[in-house]
């Protein structure tokens, strides 16, 4: 019985931890600071929940699963993901997810669904031991936990020099979580919401000062309370992102929780302020805290600058307010015109309006009515007359509007689906399949070289990667929950239904936001846990408990067989956690290695990349990076041997071994993942690098770039490189033809024009440099003149003209 109770506690607190830790989880030494770490926390705690639940079933000698109204669509959705993975163009990606984020892979989907059933099967909506007296210690504990969190994080920033930042940060989060839980409600389902909102408070407080140039993340990473740890294109002063990693992700997180927080503020106001209430002032302070918390979340939402999510949040709040007015205020409107509910609703709306006025909004139509808009209007200085100089990329003087880029990505997603209509190209394979169907117009945007691993529309992403079956089953989950939720609210208008209203409208904010973006770890968790909390909190949408085998008397002790089963479960869980920890450590090594590669310290990078590849030999990303690293090292070793003039033979042997290893790794990666244009591009770099020492490798580089062009026929960069390598391989006319196609794909590709001119010049002269073909010579000169005319002054083109015209 003790073990059974222990398992129940482990399950309960693991859930609290998941929703408390995931929004806060990030580190500075992994390849992806935020999402990767958040998913790994989810995986590990899901494993803990699984071990406790299976142990519990072994002790009871029964399989017990709570059925819900969403069973059929969820199981059909899971089946679609499994089938899509089986027929995927890259099963590794479909199982684990696209590297660094992983969210959306089959393993993550299984985890979310497992957590849904673990929650509804192990939580009950019942109050534990409660007292009617107000406990004044709980608010103090709550404030203490918040202060403890920030004090601990400050201490962690001071210990960076002795590499204790991570352990101290983790300890701080766990201790503050423990204090938060002591101050929490007794009802397990409500405590779940409490853990979610407690974490949201820390996230909101962490992100708010970054808007004013004081980012706690930079303090933790660099020891400076400023925004210097972020690049110019990733500035929290412009759009905050706190611990979520990206402004749109944070915005969706906040938009989902604002209705829930508002519901807690408005819930039970008449009872709290009735004449019989003896603790009006204390309740008032609690209600005021809820209101301030809601305003804090909304302020942070505006500072994210996410237009689509802010619009989604406004729409969800309109639904919330409309329903609240319809169900709570309108029935009493004739009897009590300005009732308490109405007054507090007005206070809430006034708070939103005031914050909107002072914080501003990212919509030009509304911004002129806000304080930042008015200040901008009256302080506007006359624009100076300047002469713009086109950039080397041919007129890309500013970023392309995100809406324009998104339309190209959506067009590509639809083309993917049209060619793979039933089960798509495979779970999470968008990064690979998009290249094949990428609209040529994408080359004309400022993000033409970016790799898109998502469709930036959750529904089109499912459509492209899992086909019509995957999208239909996903939409069926959404549609059925909304139907059940609205039906419940219609039947229970006169009851205390604000929490389910908050959950439902928060869910609406998620599904609207996902139309212009995509889910991250915490949003996927909300997608499955909001319906679960709704069902348990309102005791609706629940079916019979599946019990196998059925028996009259309950058993609550473990026999020998059960102990063996528990031991097996424990070993499997330990293996899973060990694999996850090993994977995480391998990623840290990979992160360091790739950073050293970028800085040019290839020798140091090699040791880290080799370590990562050895720790996790099944991860192609590590081997891909290691292959180009070893190719570069091979050339460096040869050059050093030639410069020193000593041990030339030994240098050649080392270089040959490095080159052979690089080729073997590239062979393995491209053979196992033939549909990844990313790996084929790396293969081009490997052979092109090695061709510096042995020109015969240029032939293999040409073969690799041709394969890349097959996988990415509209990628101007791939087309350009194909033309360059064709030209260097001696096929000058073929190179010019390829480069002319490159210009069709991207008319502002300056380097393509320049390369055509160079190849025209080479066709015009003999081996001694004498002009033998005047037509090609003139074409080369005309090409350089065209570059200067179209793109403005260009030193390379001008130098070529000066040289060629003299001859």
Rounding to the nearest 10 degrees, give the CA dihedral for residues 767, 773, 778, 784: -30
pLDDT tens digit sequence for 82-95: 999 999 999 999 99
More confident: 349 or 276: 349
Q: Which three-class secondary structure state does DSSP give residue 478? A: helix
Of the candidates 195, 306, 206, the one whose C-alpha atom is nearest the C-alpha of residue 260 is 195
Rounded CA-CA distance 786/596 in Å is 40
pLDDT tens digit sequence for 288-313: 888 899 999 999 999 999 999 999 99
Read off the pLDDT band of 670 (50, 70, 90). very high
pLDDT of residue 390: 35
Question: Which range has the top average pLDDT, 385-394, 444-453, 663-672?
Answer: 663-672
Of the candidates 765, 731, 736, the one whose C-alpha atom is nearest the C-alpha of residue 752 is 736
Lowest mean pLDDT among 75-84, 93-102, 122-131, 306-315: 122-131
Query: Is pLDDT of 658 > 50?
Result: yes
Query: Beta strands of 14-97 (E only): which ranges?
Result: 63-68
Rounded CA-CA distance 482/499 in Å is 15
pLDDT of residue 403: 82
pLDDT of residue 754: 95
Query: Is pLDDT of 385 > 70?
Result: no
pLDDT of residue 757: 94
pLDDT of residue 128: 53
Q: Residues of 649-677 as b/e, b for ≥16 C-beta within 10 angstroms?
A: eebbebbeebbebbbebbeebbeebebbb
Read off the pLDDT band of 725 (50, 70, 90). very high
Read off the pLDDT band of 386 (50, 70, 90). very low
Q: Which three-class secondary structure state does DSSP give residue 238? A: coil
Give the Å distances, CA to CA, from 124 to 1, 120, 192, 533, 534: 19, 8, 11, 10, 12
pLDDT of residue 397: 35
Q: Which three-class secondary structure state does DSSP give residue 131? A: coil
Terminal-to-terminal C-alpha distance of the chain: 96
Q: Specify whether the CB–CB gap between 510 and 239 falls below 8 A.
A: no
Read off the pLDDT band of 389 (50, 70, 90). very low
pLDDT of residue 392: 33
pLDDT tens digit sequence for 134-150: 566 888 899 999 999 99
More confident: 468 or 360: 468
Scanning 360-516, the segments in alpha helix (DSSP H) are 364-367, 371-378, 402-419, 430-437, 458-491, 498-513
pLDDT tens digit sequence for 525-551: 999 999 999 999 888 999 999 998 887
Rounded CA-CA distance 318/172 in Å is 38
pLDDT tens digit sequence for 443-499: 999 888 888 889 999 999 999 999 999 999 999 999 999 999 999 998 886 656 789
Of the candidates 574, 464, 439, the one whose C-alpha atom is nearest the C-alpha of residue 104 is 464
Query: Is pLDDT of 41 > 50?
Result: yes
Q: Which two tokens stand for residue 56?
A: 């519990």
pLDDT of residue 559: 82
Rounded CA-CA distance 305/427 in Å is 30
pLDDT of residue 283: 58
pLDDT of residue 422: 97
Lowest mean pLDDT among 330-344, 510-524, 640-654: 330-344
pLDDT of residue 663: 97
* Owner of token pair 């909102």: 197
Of the candidates 284, 291, 234, the one whose C-alpha atom is nearest the C-alpha of residue 263 is 291
Q: Residues of 684-703 as b/e, b for ≥16 C-beta within 10 angstroms?
A: bbbbbbbbebeeebbebbbe
Helices 716-728, 732-745: crossing angle, 10 deg rounding:
170
pLDDT of residue 281: 57
Evaluated on CA atoms 125, 128, 133, 134, the torsion sign reads: negative
pLDDT tens digit sequence for 745-801: 999 999 999 999 999 999 998 888 888 899 999 999 999 999 999 999 999 999 988
pLDDT of residue 394: 34
pLDDT of residue 381: 52
Q: What would the mean pLDDT of 409-415 be, rounded to a whole number?
A: 96
pLDDT tens digit sequence for 167-213: 999 999 999 999 999 998 889 999 999 999 999 999 999 999 999 99
pLDDT of residue 136: 63
* pLDDT > 90 in the chain, percent: 72
Lowest mean pLDDT among 106-120, 278-292, 566-580: 278-292
Read off the pLDDT band of 336 (50, 70, 90). low
Rounded CA-CA distance 109/115 in Å is 10
pLDDT of residue 387: 37
Rounded CA-CA distance 439/315 in Å is 32
pLDDT of residue 645: 64
pLDDT tens digit sequence for 605-621: 999 999 999 999 999 99
Mean pLDDT score of the chain, rounded to an integer?
90
pLDDT of residue 282: 55
Rounded CA-CA distance 484/624 in Å is 48
How many degrees, rounded to 5, is the angle at CA 316 between CA 78 and CA 191?
65
Query: Is pLDDT of 341 > 80?
Result: no
């Amino acid at each position: 019985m003790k073990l059974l109770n222990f398992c129940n506690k482990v399950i309960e607190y693991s859930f609290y931890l998941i929703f408390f830790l995931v929004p806060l989880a990030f580190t500075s030494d992994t390849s992806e600071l935020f999402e990767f770490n958040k998913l790994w926390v989810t995986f590990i705690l899901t494993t803990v929940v699984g071990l406790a639940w299976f142990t519990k079933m072994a002790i009871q000698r029964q399989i017990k699963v709570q059925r819900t109204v969403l069973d059929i669509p969820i199981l059909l959705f899971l089946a679609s993901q499994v089938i899509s993975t089986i027929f995927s163009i890259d099963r590794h990606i479909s199982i684990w997810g696209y590297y660094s984020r992983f969210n959306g892979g089959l393993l993550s989907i299984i985890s979310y669904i497992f957590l849904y059933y673990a929650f509804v099967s192990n939580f009950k909506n019942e109050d534990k031991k409660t007292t009617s007296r107000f406990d004044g210690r709980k608010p103090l504990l709550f404030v203490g936990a918040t202060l403890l969190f920030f004090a601990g994080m400050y201490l962690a920033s001071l210990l960076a020099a002795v590499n204790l930042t991570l352990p101290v940060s983790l300890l701080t989060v766990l201790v503050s979580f423990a204090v938060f839980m002591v101050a929490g409600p007794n009802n397990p389902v409500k405590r779940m919401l409490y853990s979610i909102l407690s974490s949201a408070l820390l996230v909101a407080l962490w992100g708010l000062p970054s808007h004013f140039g004081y980012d706690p993340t930079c303090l933790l990473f660099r020891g400076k309370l400023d925004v210097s740890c972020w690049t110019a294109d990733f500035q929290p002063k412009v759009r905050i992102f706190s611990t979520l990693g990206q402004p749109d992700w944070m915005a969706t997180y906040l938009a989902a929780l604002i209705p829930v927080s508002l519901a807690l503020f408005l819930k039970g106001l008449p009872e709290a302020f009735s004449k019989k209430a003896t603790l009006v002032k204390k309740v008032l302070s609690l209600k005021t805290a809820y209101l301030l918390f809601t305003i804090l979340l909304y302020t942070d939402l505006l500072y994210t600058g996410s237009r689509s999510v802010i619009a989604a949040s406004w729409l969800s709040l309109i639904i919330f307010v409309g329903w609240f007015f319809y169900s709570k205020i309108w029935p009493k409107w004739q009897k009590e015109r300005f009732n308490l509910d109405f007054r507090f609703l007005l206070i809430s709306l006034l708070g939103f309006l005031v914050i909107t006025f002072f914080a501003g909004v990212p919509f030009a139509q509304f911004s002129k009515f806000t304080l930042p808009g008015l200040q901008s209007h009256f302080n506007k200085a006359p624009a100076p007359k300047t002469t713009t100089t086109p950039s080397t990329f041919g007129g890309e003087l500013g970023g392309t509007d995100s809406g324009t880029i998104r339309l190209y990505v959506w067009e590509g997603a639809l083309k993917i689906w049209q060619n793979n209509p039933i089960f798509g190209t495979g779970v999470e394979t968008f990064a690979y399949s998009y290249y094949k169907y990428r609209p040529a117009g994408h080359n004309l945007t400022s993000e033409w070289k970016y790799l898109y691993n998502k469709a930036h529309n959750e529904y089109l992403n499912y459509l492209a990667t899992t086909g019509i079956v995957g999208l239909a089953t996903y939409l069926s989950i959404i549609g059925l929950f909304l139907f059940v939720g609205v039906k419940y609210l219609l039947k229970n208008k006169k009851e205390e239904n604000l929490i389910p209203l908050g959950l439902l409208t928060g869910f609406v904010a998620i599904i609207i936001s996902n139309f212009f973006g995509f889910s991250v770890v915490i949003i996927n968790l909300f997608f499955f846990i909001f319906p679960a909390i709704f069902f348990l909190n309102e005791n609706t949408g629940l079916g019979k408990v599946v019990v196998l085998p059925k028996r009259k008397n309950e058993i609550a002790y473990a026999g020998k067989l059960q102990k063996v089963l528990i031991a097996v479960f424990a070993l499997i869980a330990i293996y899973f956690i060990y694999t996850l920890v090993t994977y995480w450590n391998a990623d840290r090594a990979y992160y360091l290695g790739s950073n050293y590669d970028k800085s040019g310290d290839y020798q140091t990078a090699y040791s880290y990349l080799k370590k990562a590849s050895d720790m996790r030999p099944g991860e192609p990303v590590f081997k891909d990076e290691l292959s180009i690293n070893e190719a570069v090292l091979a050339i460096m070793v040869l050059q050093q041997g030639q410069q020193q003039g000593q041990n030339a033979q030994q240098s050649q042997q080392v270089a040959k071994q490095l080159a052979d290893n690089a080729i073997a790794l590239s062979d393995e990666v491209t053979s196992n993942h033939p549909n990844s244009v990313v790996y084929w591009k790396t293969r081009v770099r490997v052979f092109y690098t090695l061709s510096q020492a042995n020109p015969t490798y240029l032939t293999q580089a040409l073969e690799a770039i041709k394969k890349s062009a097959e996988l990415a026929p509209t990628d101007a960069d791939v087309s350009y490189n194909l033309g360059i390598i064709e030209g260097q391989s001696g096929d000058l006319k073929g190179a010019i033809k390829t480069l002319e196609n490159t210009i069709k794909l991207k008319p502002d590709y300056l380097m393509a024009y320049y390369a055509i001119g160079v190849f025209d010049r080479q066709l015009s002269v003999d081996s001694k440099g004498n002009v033998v073909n005047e037509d090609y010579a003139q074409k080369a000169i005309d090409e350089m003149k065209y570059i200067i005319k179209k793109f403005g002054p260009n030193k390379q083109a001008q130098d070529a003209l000066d040289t060629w015209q003299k001859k």
